[in-house]
Amino acid sequence: MPASPQSAASPPEHVKKSVKARSLNKPHIQELFERLKNDRPEPRTELNYSTPFELLIAVILSAQATDVSVNKATEKLYAVANTPAQIAALGVEGFKPFIRTIGLFNTKAENIIATCQALLNKHQGEVPAEREALQALAGVGRKTANVVLNTAFGHAVMAVDTHIFRVSNRTGLALGKTVDAVEQQLMKRVPAAFLQDAHHWLILHGRYTCKARKPECERCILNDLCKKNGVDA
């Protein structure tokens, strides 16, 4: 017998209770972000940049690559070319040597040259501050757009990468099987006062403490709040 619209849209009661049991409550979420703020009052991306354009290029390069490797490449690149016109002038083959040490460099080179040309042709050489326009650029998906909107333009948005996805699910801050689901939950659950910096706090916590294979729970400032450790919230 087909499920009714109501039952299809609403999970069973035992599923609701299970999700609630694994989710942090509002007081614990507030405490979580207060601790992260006290630990890092002014969190910043670890990608080196001085303009929105440099950040955009660095974020495109950072897909499946470390910030350290990207910074090494962009240090040499930006000394030679750090505007859409200058990088577009290099062409794909002229650009590749600067990023050859970074994964997927062939595809990234093609995307970045196409993005530079689009910025010149459609945006007067400026990086747009609108999601739709950013995501229309080659190599720019929702996560990359969110990073640029948040970091370069101060928008209170969440760019969910593997670190944020892991930390959110482990702690019970935001549960979801996909990055989009976790992003939606974070936008609902992160207190407004912390939303601007939440992206960087969660990334840095995941990168240096709540690691994928060996989380350092014994020194974690969120240990007693974390659902992974059985906190009763």
* Residues noted as catalytic: 143, 161
Q: Report whether 137 contacts 145 (CB < 8 A).
A: no
Give the number of C-alpha atoms closer than 13 A to the C-alpha of residue 77, restricted to the C-beta side: 33
DSSP the chain: -PPPHHHHHS--HHHHHHHHHHS--HHHHHHHHHHHHHH-SS---SS--SSHHHHHHHHHHTTTS-HHHHHHHHHHHHHH--SHHHHHHHHHHHHHHHHTTSTTHHHHHHHHHHHHHHHHHHSTT---SSHHHHHTSTT--HHHHHHHHHHTT--------HHHHHHHHHHTSS--SSHHHHHHHHHHHS-HHHHHHHHHHHHHHHHHTS-SSS--GGG-TTTTT-GGGT---
How many C-beta neighbours within 10 Å does residue 128 have? 22
Task: Give CA–CA dist 62/68, Å, rounded.
Answer: 9
